[in-house]
């Protein structure tokens, strides 16, 4: 891999259990498109998309977002955890956007900063004239972000990969004489080279599932970044369905004398099992095959000190379950990956194109808490939530 004077990127050997694996999520060699290679994922046809959006009515639950914000996520001004230099930190920017900072090493000014799926736009859509509109503001402007070392994107959907935000972060970084690395999954490189004409080959890392790199940044520190599976899909328009890969990410601090390195799992956007009913019974949920990738992630790289897991935009279940977790699924992922603490995300910020007609925005956090407690997890310790702008410290 190309190396910059300030950053060295070194491929990691494949984890032992993955090294003999055929690339069953690839279509073609080299791949021209991708798929979820598990029975826990079922394709949704165009007829189902149209009927779910426009025709079904019996199970629609069109509850408006509370105009007085009662029960909605609190937004606070971020301080990025600056008073906790000896911890791994994650600050929620809303939806699936986080700024993660690793522990600050002795003699350094700060830890490594990774900006995950940053979205600051008003709408998660190809245009700012239409499409899902955010109902919870961002906690700060792009220019108020601290210096960023790495931008990671989990997949190319508009609520995770926002051209305007990436351009703004890039512009703000360049104004401070910094060039962040961009990390994405296979098939996403062309999007970034088109978006950022001055993006150099060594500024972008494109990885397949289970690939990882060690990143050493001069005068700041080192970490490992590993691209891991998710059960999802991709597209930005009508002609690019599944032509780029989707992923989750693992961030592992490097081993340093006198410090125990921490690790973080970011699920991106993912489903866990497919169910056939809009409102499935517990028996139906339990009988459907689970996505095996999360147990593999837990067995290979767990336990994790912190996991950021999606808990919203799952209704109606028969339509969304293959690609979006319900809170009950996310509690299973918390256990599969061996997370010590999981924070819910992907809720409370913007309504999805379909879920807006079926899901009360107050439901995901309540179900996340209820399911965790049903499984014996301690609320606020094992699993929990945070405010937009709040920093979770582990």
**Residues near Zn ion, by CB under 5 A:** 157, 269
Distance in Å, CB of 262 to Zn ion, minimum = 27
Q: By C-beta, is 102 or 315 nearer to Zn ion?
A: 315
In whole angstroms, what is the distance from residue 96 CA to residue 103 CA? Answer: 22
In whole angstroms, what is the distance from residue 251 CA to residue 308 CA? Answer: 11
Q: By C-beta, is 89 or 157 nearer to Zn ion?
A: 157
Residue nearest to Zn ion (CB): 157
Q: By C-beta, is 199 or 235 nearer to Zn ion?
A: 235
Q: By C-beta, is 242 or 269 nearer to Zn ion?
A: 269
Provide φ and ψ at 154, rounded to 5°.
-80, -30
Distance in Å, CB of 146 to Zn ion, minimum = 27
The contacts of residue 1 (CB under 8 Å, 6+ apart) are 9, 10, 11, 202, 205, 213
Contact predicate 136/386, CB 8 Å: no
In whole angstroms, what is the distance from residue 316 CA to residue 93 CA? Answer: 26
Provide φ and ψ at 238, rounded to 5°.
-75, -15
Contact predicate 163/126, CB 8 Å: no
Distance in Å, CB of 161 to Zn ion, minimum = 9
Q: By C-beta, is 269 or 328 nearer to Zn ion?
A: 269
- Angle ∠(241,244,248) on CA atoms, nearest 5: 115
Distance in Å, CB of 237 to Zn ion, minimum = 14
> Hey, what are 82's tokens?
């600056």
> Hey, what are 359's tokens?
């899901």
Distance in Å, CB of 269 to Zn ion, minimum = 4
> Hey, what are 249's tokens?
């990410």
Q: By C-beta, is 162 or 269 nearer to Zn ion?
A: 269
Distance in Å, CB of 138 to Zn ion, minimum = 19
> Hey, what are 47's tokens?
């007829």
DSSP 305: S
Q: By C-beta, is 53 or 69 nearer to Zn ion?
A: 53
Q: By C-beta, is 134 or 157 nearer to Zn ion?
A: 157
Coil, helix or strand for 29? coil
In the block, residue with structure tokens 């029975």 = 39
Distance in Å, CB of 155 to Zn ion, minimum = 6
Distance in Å, CB of 271 to Zn ion, minimum = 10
Radius of gyration for the alpha carbons in the chain, expressed in angstroms and rounded: 20
């Amino acid at each position: 891999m190309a190396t910059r004077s300030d950053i060295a990127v070194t491929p990691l050997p494949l984890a032992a259990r993955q090294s003999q694996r055929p690339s069953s999520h690839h279509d073609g060699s080299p791949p021209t498109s991708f798929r979820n290679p598990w029975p826990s994922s079922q394709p949704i046809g165009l007829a189902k998309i149209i009927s779910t959006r426009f025709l079904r009515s019996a199970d629609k639950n069109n509850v408006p977002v509370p105009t007085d914000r009662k029960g909605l996520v609190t937004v606070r001004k971020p301080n990025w955890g600056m008073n906790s230099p000896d911890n791994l930190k994650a600050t929620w920017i809303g939806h699936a956007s986080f700024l993660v900072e690793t522990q600050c090493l002795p003699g350094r000014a700060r830890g490594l900063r990774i900006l995950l799926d940053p979205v600051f736009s008003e709408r998660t859509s190809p245009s700012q004239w239409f499409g899902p509109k955010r109902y919870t503001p961002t906690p700060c402007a792009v220019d108020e972000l601290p210096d960023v070392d790495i931008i990671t994107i989990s997949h190319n959907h508009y609520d995770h990969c926002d051209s305007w935000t990436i351009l703004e972060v890039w512009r703000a970084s360049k104004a401070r004489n910094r060039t962040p690395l961009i990390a994405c999954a296979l098939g996403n490189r062309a999007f970034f080279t088109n978006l950022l004409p001055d993006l150099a080959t060594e500024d972008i890392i494109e990885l397949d599932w289970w690939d990882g790199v060690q990143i050493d940044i001069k005068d700041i520190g080192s970490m490992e970044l590993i691209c891991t599976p998710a059960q999802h899909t991709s597209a930005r328009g009508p002609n690019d369905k599944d032509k780029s890969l989707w992923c989750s990410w693992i961030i592992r601090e490097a081993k340093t004398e006198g410090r125990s390195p921490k690790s973080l799992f970011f699920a991106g956007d993912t489903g866990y099992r497919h169910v056939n009913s809009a409102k499935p019974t517990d028996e139906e949920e339990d009988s459907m095959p689970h996505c095996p990738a999360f147990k593999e992630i837990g067995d290979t790289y767990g336990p994790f000190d912190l996991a950021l897991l999606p808990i919203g935009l799952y209704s109606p279940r028969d339509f969304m379950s293959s690609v979006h977790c319900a809170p009950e699924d996310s509690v299973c992922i918390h256990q599969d990956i061996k997370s010590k603490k999981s924070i819910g995300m992907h809720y409370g910020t913007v309504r999805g194109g379909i879920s807006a007609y079926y899901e009360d925005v107050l439901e995901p956090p309540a179900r996340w808490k209820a399911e965790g407690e049903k499984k014996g997890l301690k609320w606020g310790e094992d699993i929990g939530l945070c405010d937009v702008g709040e920093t979770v410290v582990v």
